[in-house]
């Protein structure tokens, strides 16, 4: 296995025998090594992989970020709908199902509640069909009433003008997930969308020098070669600040309801390999995809951001995009600290939130 070589290279970096820029540019593994790591199948290799990936994460990330969620609207104009989607109106009775569009007041109240809980970052996402106007509306409100860092996700539904507008209002990160770079598979699971449209949005985000988040949806029928090609496409063709790794988790009532869930181990392995290719970036695991109670697998794999984390004071009933169940803030904080890691929080606010909600620390 390649672990000896990876450990040696990381040691060289730690001992200043490797230049920082060169290390970041090359990462710790190439395509062949990534593919070999995807094929590991015994606990000894898993433990070695998680050990080195966690060490790399700990070197670059002193705290684990926590990102909460505001869903702006689930009214999606993509037709036909993505086969796995339980988020858009009318797709799954386990999801929101009924159409909604938050009022400005609801966005404001949600953002203030999230900040009061001690969380420092929020993701605002909207379904497709508004040329980015819905996420611009959300960004303006969140930035006006809070100091939260903001990621917006409207998929491919952003124009160049809307990206410029987001930059003008202080956006921190724009997310546009390619999901899979296998074109045939993309077309199969997302028949109403074009992969190229998503790639173009990613390129525009880079063009305006805004942090780009772009993730992989795994366990939908792609091969390990597809995952390696995808990760190295991101490495070589785009400038990426965040990669969400999202394991498929079936939503009842959708065309993919019988497709098997992607295991937590498979997600953790993909996170760890991503960490070795991209040592310094934010690697995100959303709680609904891995399963809120299995989040520690992602952290063992080297994730540095837990997303879709909902505090008890959130005024709205949030359902996950990958599955309905989301992670609760105090449980996620405990899972992070139980591993000896440090959650990134406004601790003063978080303590006040715990007192108000009478939660145990
Ligand atoms: S995944 Fe996004 S684009 Fe696809 S149907 Fe659902 S909301 Fe619409």
Reply yes or no on whether the pLDDT at 84 is more than 70.
Answer: yes
Residue 360 has pLDDT above 60, yes or no: no
pLDDT at 116: 97
Residues with Cβ within 8 Å of 326's Cβ and at least 6 positions away in sequence, in order, are 69, 287, 288, 292, 308, 309, 310, 318, 319, 320
Pocket test for ligand 1, best of 81, 179, 180, 244 (most atoms within 8 A of CB): 81
pLDDT for res 281: 98
Q: Which atom of ligand 1 is nearest to the CA of 74?
A: 7
The verdict on the CB of residue 72 being under 6 Å from ligand 1 is no
Q: Give 84 Cα–ligand 1 centroid separation in angstroms.
A: 9
Q: Does pLDDT of 359 surpass 90?
A: no
| CA–centroid distance, residue 79 to ligand 1 (Å) | 9
Mutate to test the pocket of ligand 1, among 80, 88, 154, 289 (most ligand atoms within 8 A of CB): 88
49 lines ligand 1 (CB under 6 A): no
Which of 75, 77, 86, 87 most suits a substitution to test ligand 1, by most atoms within 8 Å of the C-beta? 87
pLDDT band of 338, cuts 50, 70, 90: very high
pLDDT by residue (tens digit) across 173-218? 999 999 999 999 999 999 999 999 999 999 999 999 999 999 999 9
- Per-residue pLDDT of 281-326, as tens digits, reads 999 999 988 888 899 999 999 999 999 999 999 999 888 887 888 9
Tens-digit pLDDT profile for residues 122-152: 999 999 999 999 999 999 999 999 999 999 9
Q: Which structure tokens are listed for 209? A: 């020098």
Domains of the chain with bracketed CATH: 3-356 (3.20.20.70)
Q: 10 Å Cβ neighbour count for 17? A: 9
- Concatenating the DSSP letter of every residue in 60-101 gives H-SSBEEEEEEEEE-----SSPPTT--SSTTS-TTS--S--B
Does residue 225 carry a pLDDT above 90?
A: yes
Question: Which pLDDT tens digit goes with each residue over 226-265?
Answer: 999 999 999 999 999 999 999 999 999 999 999 999 999 9
SS3 content of the chain, % helix, strand, coil (to 5): 45, 15, 40
How would you classify the pairing of strands 242-247 and 216-218? parallel
The predicted pLDDT at position 291 comes to: 84
The span from the CA of 133 to the CA of 163, in Å, is 10
Assigned token pair, 172: 């921190």
pLDDT digit string, tens, across residues 32-66: 999 999 999 999 999 999 999 999 999 999 999 99
* Percent of the residues in the chain that have a pLDDT greater than 90, as a whole number: 93
Please, what is the average pLDDT of the chain?
96
What is the per-residue pLDDT for 276?
Answer: 98
């Amino acid at each position: 296995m390649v672990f000896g070589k990876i450990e040696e290279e990381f040691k060289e970096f730690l001992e200043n025998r490797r230049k920082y820029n060169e290390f970041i540019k090359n990462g710790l593994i190439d395509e062949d090594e990534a593919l070999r790591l995807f094929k590991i199948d015994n606990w000894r290799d898993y433990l070695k992989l998680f050990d080195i990936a966690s060490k790399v994460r700990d070197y670059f990330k002193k705290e684990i970020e926590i990102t909460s969620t505001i869903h702006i609207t689930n009214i999606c104009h993509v037709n036909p709908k993505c086969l796995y989607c339980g988020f858009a109106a009318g797709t799954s009775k386990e999801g929101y199902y009924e159409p909604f569009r938050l009022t400005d007041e609801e966005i404001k109240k949600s953002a203030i509640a999230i900040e009061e809980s001690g969380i420092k970052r929020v993701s605002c996402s909207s379904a497709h069909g508004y040329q980015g106007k819905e996420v611009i509306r959300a960004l303006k409100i969140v930035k006006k009433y809070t100091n939260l860092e903001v990621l917006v996700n409207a998929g491919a539904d952003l124009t160049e003008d809307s990206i410029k507008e987001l930059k003008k209002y202080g956006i921190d990160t724009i997310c546009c997930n390619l999901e899979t770079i296998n074109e045939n598979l993309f077309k199969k699971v997302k028949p109403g969308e074009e992969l190229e449209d998503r790639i173009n949005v990613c390129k525009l985000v880079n063009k305006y020098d805004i942090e780009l988040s772009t993730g992989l949806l795994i366990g939908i029928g792609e091969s390990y070669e597809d995952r390696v090609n995808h990760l190295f496409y991101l490495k070589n063709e785009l400038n990426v600040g965040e990669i969400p790794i999202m394991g498929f988790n079936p939503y009842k009532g959708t065309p993919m309801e019988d497709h098997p869930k992607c295991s937590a181990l498979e997600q953790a392995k993909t996170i760890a390999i991503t960490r070795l290719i991209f040592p310094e970036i934010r690697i995100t695991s959303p709680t609904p995809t891995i399963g809120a109670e299995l989040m520690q697998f992602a952290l063992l794999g080297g994730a540095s951001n837990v997303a879709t984390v909902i505090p008890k004071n959130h005024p709205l009933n949030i359902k996950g995009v990958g599955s309905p169940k989301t992670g609760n803030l105090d449980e996620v904080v405990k899972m992070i600290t139980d591993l000896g890691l440090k959650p990134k929080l406004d601790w003063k606010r978080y303590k006040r939130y715990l007192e108000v909600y009478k939660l145990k620390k």
